[in-house]
Structure 1
Amino acid sequence: MSDRELHCDNCEGVQTFEVPPCVDGHGADCPELVCTGCGTAVLIATFAFPAPRLADRRPARRPAPHRRAA
């Protein structure tokens, strides 16, 4: 089992969290963790965000107004 120290909201402090036996076959990489103090389960999830493109943030240029001959 893998152990990590995280803040537990129920225990109101830093506690050791461990990976329970995983039936999904994740092993030590299981995203579920359980507080050893009170048994609260947490799920660790990661998200990947694409980097913003700076070229897309520039305001569009307006064309110059046309002049009419008199």
Structure 2
Amino acid sequence: MSDRELYCDTCEGVVLFEAPLCGDGHGVDCPELVCTGCGAAVLVSTITFRPPARSRRRAPRPTHRHAA
């Protein structure tokens, strides 16, 4: 089991959290953690954002004015 210190909203302080035995096969990288103080569970997850696709609009063509 892995453990780390995190802020617990229920305990209102920094407390040791530990990963319970994971039934999903994550091992020590299990995203589920349990507060050792009160038993509150948290899910730790990383989120990856992709930058928005760049628009490939063409610049407007310059207009040529001709004398009349």
* Band the TM-score falls in, shorter-chain normalisation: 0.7 to 0.9
Name the structure 2 match of 1:26. 26
- In 1: Cα distance, 2:62 partner to 2:25 partner: 63
Shift of 1:8: 0.5
Unaligned runs of 5+ residues in structure 2 are none
Taking every aligned residue pair, what percent have the same amino acid on both sides? Answer: 61
Stretches (4+) displaced over 6 A: none
Name the structure 1 match of 2:65. 67
Shift of 1:48: 2.0
- In 2: Cα distance, 1:66 partner to 1:15 partner: 71
Unaligned runs of 5+ residues in structure 1 are none
Q: CA RMSD in A?
A: 2.4
SS of alignment partner, residue 66 of structure 1: coil
Q: TM-score, normalised by structure 2?
A: 0.78
Q: TM-score, normalised by structure 1?
A: 0.76
Name the structure 1 match of 2:2. 2
Shift of 1:52: 6.4
